[in-house]
Chain A
Amino acid sequence: MIDSTIPQDAARQKFDGGVAAGLDSPQRPFGHFKDVHKTFKRSGQAPLAAIDTVSFDLHAGQLISLLGPSGCGKTTFLRIAAGLIPKTSGTVEINGAEVERPQPDFGMVFQQSNLMPWRTVLKNVLFPIEIQGDTQGASGERAIELLSLVGLSGFETAYPAQLSGGMQQRVALCRALVHRPKLLLMDEPFGALDELTRMEMQDLLLDIRAKTAATVMLVTHSISEAVYLSDKVAVFSTRPAKIADFIPVDLPYPRRPETRYTPEFTELEHRAGRALGITR
């Protein structure tokens, strides 16, 4: 069932090397989060409410950022969406099904690259295929294609220890995309990188996303990163988390580094800052 009105389809025909786009059905958006609540039980201590209530919708092909201060529960929310930890109550529906455990058709990028030092770059990228079995064939070619897309052609047989931090994170991005996930979840993916590498990676992510129609949910604590990358920014309050503001970012894609210096960009940053209680 393919809805040809989805604009990203044109992009997918150009390059089918990335994420298989999930689709909004007429009844439901691709991702639907309603009154999601999480309390951690702790032995010998009072229970800890990490997420108060969080509700929003995620539409197919969107890139949404979860922006908030450290320890506010945004990573917890992402891990619930990934099915890695259970929610206490509420609804987490992605691609028409309740998420209660990890989903094979999600891709994940962590703050650390989490590459296996004993595997070469190519074998690291192919790890998801190895775990899930090669259902589509030609995954080797696809992995090589992805690596060239992130500028790592020629590094297929290198070990992670031979790469810089930014290169390692690019390999991790390829690994998250290799099995054509319906949803890409990113947990502060560029948080461990230096500022220049970080900006480079942001442009790379936008580039890949333009070519693949990826639906992306990304956790960050950088206001400018959230505004620069996203269609929508969900600003989380301090713990226990609520949505402090849900900001539509109406800056046109493709965005370029110059976009950061436009008045519209500054205004959006300002709005996010106000929601975070940093600026008035």
Chain B
Amino acid sequence: MSSQNLARSIYPVLGIVVILALWQLYTWWSGISPLVLPSPLEIASVSVKRYDLLLQQTWPTLIETILGFALALLIGIPLAVFVANSRLFNLVLYPILVATQSIPKVAIAPIILVWFGLGISSKLALAFLVAFFPIVVDTATGLQATPPGLLDLAHALCASRRQVFFKVQFPAALPFIFAGSKVAITLAVIGAVIGEFVGSVTGLGNLVLAANSQLDGPLAWAALVWLSALGILLFAAVALAERLMMPWERAGEP
């Protein structure tokens, strides 16, 4: 723990504090309506006071996000294995993957809603759709980036294809898979919220809409705060899983 580490954690906090202070001062002096821009203190107080309602609305969003992300891992990783190891799969699937990725998810949300209804499955589908792409692309890249020296070594020892995959290719791709997962988990939150915006009766995204329509600015903002806290926590959970599953990554550090 050095002064450098301390500085690294103090400066971002300092930046946030300054911005919040300026915001607070502006709302005091300008007398702007809380519906348009509530003050940070107001948002904070509602975030705590309406704890029950916010927590209740967090569960559906959390479940949609986690299930969508899990599904993206479950389908994305095996698909990436095919794409990385078969030229045919690569040629056939990759352009399709890229094409589907270029469709704005907000634009297909209404169609997804028609297919899957107002319940959890439409949100799960949208969370899956946005989380899927980075997982497939990063995993496939990682599987193709196996150091050639390690493959030589495995071949020289007469390793089977199965052994090469499980003992060399896959562990070597783990940092890539986690990089993709960290992007995917934050996108999955966005996917779930898009689903809630388009048609839903629960969730934090739905709460933002409902509070807005009831001219309850502070509650809408409080729901936003909870949403970003949810995103940060989920990201931290993936980062923690990475640390636990790849202890060697920290081995080189002093």
Contact = CB atoms under 8 A, between A and B. Distances in A.
Interface of A: 82-84, 101-104, 106, 108, 110, 112, 114, 116-119, 127-128, 130-132, 158-162
B167 interface: yes
Contact of B159 (A83, A117, A118, A131): A131
Contacts of A110: 149, 152-153
Contacts of A104: 157-158
B168 to A, nearest CB: 7
**Which of A101, A103, A127 is most buried by chain B, counting CB atoms within 10 A of its CB?**
A127
From A117, A119, A159, A162, residue with most partner B Cβ within 10 Å: A117
Given A106-B156, A127-B157, A131-B167, A159 B149 contact: no
Interface in B153-191: 153-159, 163, 167-168, 171-172, 174
A118 B152 contact: no
Interface SS of chain A = loop
Interface stretch (B16-24, B228-236, B245-253): B245-253
Contact of B155 (A84, A117, A118): A84
A131 B149 contact: no
Contacts of B108: none
Given A114-B149, A130-B167, A102 B157 contact: yes
Contact of B150 (A102, A116, A159): A116
A131 B147 CA distance: 18
A116 B171 contact: yes
Given A116-B168, A118-B246, A131-B167, A102 B251 contact: no
A83 B158 CA distance: 10
A82 B152 CA distance: 10
A131 B157 contact: yes
Contacts of B152: 84, 108, 110, 114
B149 A112 contact: yes
Residue from A82, A116, A118 whose CB has the most chain B CB atoms within 10 Å: A118
Contacts of B252: 159, 161-162
A110 B154 CA distance: 12
SS of B interface (majority): helix
Contacts of B172: 116, 118
A114 B19 CA distance: 49
A116 B171 CA distance: 9
A273 to B, nearest CB: 31
Given A117-B248, A128-B157, 16 more contacts: A83-B156, A84-B156, A102-B155, A103-B158, A108-B152, A114-B147, A114-B150, A116-B172, A118-B172, A127-B157, A131-B159, A131-B167, A132-B158, A158-B251, A161-B248, A161-B251
Contacts of A114: 147, 149-150, 152-153
Given A116-B171, A118-B171, A131-B163, A108 B156 contact: yes
A83 B115 CA distance: 56
A131 B248 contact: no
Contacts of B149: 110, 112, 114
A82 B251 contact: no
B198 to A, nearest CB: 43
17 contacts: A83-B156, A84-B155, A101-B158, A102-B155, A102-B156, A104-B158, A110-B149, A110-B152, A114-B150, A116-B150, A118-B171, A118-B174, A118-B248, A119-B248, A131-B157, A132-B157, A158-B251
A103 to B, nearest CB: 7
Contacts of B168: 116
A131 to B, nearest CB: 5
A112 B152 CA distance: 11
A188 to B, nearest CB: 12
B251 A162 contact: yes
Contacts of A101: 158
A241 B35 CA distance: 82
Contacts of B147: 114
A118 B172 CA distance: 8
Interface string B85-107: 00000000000000000000000
B232 to A, nearest CB: 28
Interface string B138-156: 0000000001011011111
Nearest to B155: A102
Contacts of A83: 156
